[in-house]
Structure 1
Amino acid sequence: MTKRLGLIHTSATLVDVFAALCAEHLPGVETFNIVDDSLIKNTVAAGRLTPQTARRVAGHIGSAESAGADHILVTCSSIGAAVEAAEPLTGVPVTRVDRPMADRAVVLGDRIGVLATLSTTLDPTADLVRRRAAAAGKEVTLTARVCAGAFEALMSGDAATHDERVAGELAALSGEVDVVVLAQASMARVAGTVESRVPILASPPLAMEHLAGVL
């Protein structure tokens, strides 16, 4: 029986990114998408994930299950706490996109850099890395930074400015740590453009590798 993967996005820009990754890593799996950019817009406006937005995330996850998903992937790190809260309420496995990346970072180094273009993503990702390190029985040191203005540039259609600012911060941060974690899926496009002496981890391909193992 063909497996079905439901993907929940907070930006339409990620639909094509994950479609390509699914075609590469999950060729025999059917996929469908739920896109609601108000989730990230409301989170950014409030400066945090609010209970109202968290309930709506849980609603989308429930809708994906009702639509026939055998597994659900939520591709936005900013709403990760809501994803984890919804997992016990859902009858199929649910993966937050940055969890496999956090686990890989903990394996690769003791000094972990976390780079984001939004503070609302930086804090949840840094918290996830700390918790996954604790679960693995490992002590890590985190260096967390926000790449100011990059997200706004991307949302306004100026991808070049986004990529330039992320690349600059990435080059600087990679000189201070053992491994760098890119907190947002939208930053993955820059990972291969920067020369670095340390691994640079992006969540989309690592999430797909994880799903290929379970699906």
Structure 2
Amino acid sequence: MTDPAGITPEQKMQFLFQLRQKGVMDSRVLTAMEKTDRGAFVRGHFATRAYEDMPLPISSGQTISQPSVVGLMTQALDVQPRDTVLEIGTGSGYQAAILSQLARRVYTIDRHRNLTREAEVVFTRLGLVNVTVLTRDGSFGLPDQGPFDRILVTAAAEDPPGPLMQQLKVGGVMVVPVGQSDTVQSLIKVTRNDAGFDYEEIMPVRFVPLMEGIARD
């Protein structure tokens, strides 16, 4: 992928500096984020703020997460080159595009049909051939393609969703925001082992809630 159009070397350096300052230190994650133009996923007058470390509004009342949170979630997921990854909550497609740089195959699901359509257009334009976009109820995952090496959830559930946990391979990792309100949430890393699941709290976050069903856009 070519360097983002219109981004100066100084802006790119500042962008990467902000990521490191917030704790994103994995070199593979930093390289993937450097190669992925966030501006391609932000529309309208917000495009000029694409390289600032802040969430921005997108279609369907959703947001594109701030880059440092994307970086920390990706770092916690610890994606390996041969992994198959499931993402719940395509949103703008920015997170899936970064995952595509790190994994063998990415499946990304969103309940908003217009978001999946828009993301697919951007993926095609960027030449990302290892990403499959689906309009589905993400709370049920994608059992016909599982189990998965990695699962990333970009919407908050009250508890790690059972169907998604069952679609995780032994040795696999899921990163998911958990919380009963939109003000008190924790990012949780779930690792499946032979005996069950291990849980690790990573940091406080704030995400939109994980909703069931297909949205009527």
What's the TM-score once normalised by structure 1's chain length?
Answer: 0.39
Q: Which has the higher strand share?
A: 2
The TM-score normalised by the length of structure 2 is: 0.38
Which is richer in helix?
1
Which of the pair has the greater relative contact order for Cα pairs under 8 Å at 6+ separation? Answer: 1
